[in-house]
Amino acid sequence: MVDESVSYRETKTFWRWPSRSLLPRPAKRAAEDARKPDSIANVRAAAFAMLIAFAIFLVFESEGLRHFTRDLPGNHITDVLVSAADRWHALMQRLGPARVQPAVREVFDRIREIHW
């Protein structure tokens, strides 16, 4: 008697419909954070992290800050911001962080421009 419940996967054919991924199944998802979240503490941590990211940008992307302040509509407030951004950029150039971006960029451009 033929077992008609045999599915097509269990035949001895070489070719089968490729429905699986090339890799084994990924591991199960990590369990959700089981602790009751202290949202306020996490919000503070996230905000603090974002401020640190802003500070890193201020230090190493002072040239970008100059451009950004000049993109703002012209008024007395933005005049102050532009002037402050110019002074900050000059300071960062003297201290060194402003020179990191051109150096990184140069290395990256050299890699980009390699030809076969």
Q: Which residues contact another protein (rule: CB under 8 A)?
A: 1-4, 6, 8-23, 26-27, 29-33, 37, 39-40, 42-57, 60-61, 64, 66-68, 70, 73-74, 79, 82-83, 100-101, 104-105, 108, 111-116
Residue that is written with structure tokens 């890699």 in the block: 111
* Residue 87 or 94 with smaller CB distance to another protein: 87
Nearest to 65 by CA among 103, 107, 97: 97
- Whole-number Cα distances in Å, 111 to 72, 103, 104: 34, 13, 11
Instruction: Provide, rounded to whole angstroms, the least separation between the CB of residue 84 and another protein.
Output: 12
| Cα separation, 93 vs 106, whole angstroms | 17
Tell me how far, at minimum, the Cβ of 10 lies from another protein, in Å: 5
